[in-house]
Amino acid sequence: MPATPHPELAAEVAELLRQSQQANAALMRGDIHHYLGLITHSDDYTLMSPFGGTPTHGPQITSERWEDIGRFFSNGSLTQELVQSYASTDMVVLATIERAHVEVGGLPAQAWSLRVTLVYCREGSGWRLAHRHADPLVNGISLEHAAALARDPETCTAPEHASPGVALEV
């Protein structure tokens, strides 16, 4: 694991990394209850889904929504690679690559690799996940592809962008 600026927090960072890997592996199996048993979310949790769209905030994720998220994934496995960690007394940031092989949203099982940033904040004696941002750009894309994704479909008049796609929120 890359060094963190506060060596006294190394064990806590390692534990957050382990919990993150186990929780997201459970999620890839569709086991939302195990996921939620391992990760505590802050009240103002923000989720920036790998499918884009408007970020989701803690109060919007009801128990029914968590159940939907659990059903969205099935039969998966996950490994997690730490890119970098940053730690201070009250905040830990983990930049990771999650490599899953999973059925997502009814699609056949396939490789799903995501670049993920996790922000944990200390609350009392524990850590709560305050932010997750994921994107599927592990393998990189061309400038043209990035530009096409970044265009605002409401203002773009090119024929290939005349009808915007549906953004999935997980």
Neighbours of 60 (CB within 10 A): 12
pLDDT computed for residue 164 by the predictor: 41
User: What are 54-109's pLDDT values in tens digits?
Assistant: 999 988 999 999 999 999 999 999 999 999 999 999 999 999 999 999 999 999 99
pLDDT of 30 reads 96
Q: Please say whether the beta carbons of 38 and 26 come within 8 A.
A: yes
How much is the pTM? 0.85
Helix (H, G, I), strand (E, B) or coil at 27: helix
pLDDT in tens, 117-168: 999 999 998 999 999 999 999 999 999 999 998 987 777 655 454 434 444 4
Burial (CB count within 10 angstroms: exposed 0-12, middle 13-18, buried 19+), residue 128 = middle
